[in-house]
Structure 1
Amino acid sequence: MDLIDAGGLARGLMDQHGLPGWGFAFDRAKVRAGACHYTDRTITLSRAITAVHDEAQVRETVLHEIAHALVGHGHGHDAVWRARARSIGATGERCYTVGADGPVVPGRWQGRCPAGHVVHRHRRPTGVLVCLRCRGLPTLQRVISWRLDGRPVDHAELGPRVRETLRQLQALT
């Protein structure tokens, strides 16, 4: 969705549901669609995720966060929050889950197992990752190899913990 339109939608829904004293902003999140910041009374949307979501998904995210603001900090996703979310037109469910069938914001770090399964990370991997889809293969054959912004990264560059884990796995074969 266009970010200017998304900002207008968010501000309109916030005013409609009684949050005129709350601020709105976009943030740099990559693994969550929105957030409710109680301390500074601000609702934020992920710039990257909002840009790949359609209007219905953005509306759901905004209503989800508005419900958090209306019920207060102590409720999380409990029954009180869920009832309030549904009363203002949201589903009362989580809006965005990483790895769901919806659009994914690719990370700078892209990992690939030998079978070709791809994972994304937004931060440097600090340990050895193995492909969970390739169960049944020996662990060493399931190790994910990494690229940073398209450049191959040797496991040794990821640090001593990764080097030691790989050494131990190789010793087992």
Structure 2
Amino acid sequence: MDISDALELARELMDEHGVGDWEFAFDRAKRRAGATNFTARKITLSKALVQLYAPEQVRAVMLHEIAHALVGPRHGHDAEWKRMCVAIGGDGRARLPMDSPEPEAPWVGRCPAGHTAQRYRRPTRQLSCRRCSRSFSPEHLFVWVNRETGERTAPA
């Protein structure tokens, strides 16, 4: 979805459901679609994920976060939150479907057996492949490559 359309949708839904006095912003999250900050009275959406999602997915995430704002910080994803989410037009799900698009992580690690792992931040310590060994194993260390620059790293 286009960022400007998402911003317009967010403000529209916030006004419609009584949290128009809350702040809205986009954040840099890659692993969660939205967040509700009760102290700052602020709802945020992941800019990276919004750009990958269809309008109906963005709408569902906004309604999810608005339901949090309406029921308050002590409810998490409990029955009261779910009732509110459904009442305002959301689906009442605590999580997005597993097949929702995700941004590509810039760092890809490959173990000697060829298994891969992804990281959004540059790895700063040695990591070994969990598929090859349940505990840390120097024989199964990942070598990391940045998709964008080709930089290679094997943290010490």
Q: Specify the TM-score bucket, using the shorter chain as the normaliser.
A: 0.7 to 0.9
In the other structure, the counterpart of 1:130 is: 129
| 1:165 matched residue in structure 2 | none
The structural deviation recorded for 1:118 is 3.6
4-13 or 88-97, larger mean C-alpha shift: 88-97
Q: Give the counterpart letter for 2:81 in structure 1.
A: W
Task: State the Cα RMSD in Å.
Answer: 2.3
- Matches for 1:5-154 after TM superposition, within 5 Å: 5-96=5-96, 100-114=98-112, 116-125=114-123, 126-132=125-131, 143-148=141-146, 149-154=148-153
Partner-residue secondary structure (3-state), 1:75: coil
CA distance, structure 2, for counterparts of residue 21 and residue 120 of structure 1: 38
Gap regions ≥5 residues in structure 1:
160-173
Greater helix fraction, Structure 1 or Structure 2: 1
- 1:132-171 C-alpha deviation (Å, 9 max, x unpaired): 3x68xxx67754331123425242xx12xxxxxxxxxxxx
Q: Which runs of 5+ in 2 are unaligned?
A: none
Q: Report the CA distance between 1:95 and its aligned residue.
A: 3.7
Superposed CA offset, 1:73-128 (max 9, x none):
1111111111111111112113437xx32212122211234555443211233341
Q: Distance in 2 between matches of 1:94 and 1:146?
A: 33
Change (3 A) 1:127 1:87: farther
What is the alpha-carbon distance in structure 2 between the residues aligned to residue 5 and residue 13 of structure 1? 12
SS in 2 for 1:130: coil
The CA distance in 1 between the partners of 2:27 and 2:139, in whole Å, is: 38
- Number of aligned residue pairs: 152
Aligned residue identity for 1:41: R
Whose radius of gyration is greater, 1 or 2? Answer: 1
Deviates more, 1:103-112 or 1:29-38: 103-112
Q: Name the SS for the 1:91 alignment partner.
A: coil
Report the CA distance between 1:38 and its aligned residue: 0.8
Q: Which amino acid aligns with 1:151?
A: G
Indicate the percent of aligned positions where both proteins have the same amino acid.
Answer: 46
Contact 2:144–2:153, Cα closer than 8 Å, also in 1 = yes
Distance 1:91 1:142, change over 3 A: farther
Q: What TM-score do the two structures reach when normalised by structure 1?
A: 0.77
Question: Within 1, Cα distance between the matches of 2:44 and 2:128?
Answer: 31
**Cα offset, 1:25, TM superposition:** 0.8
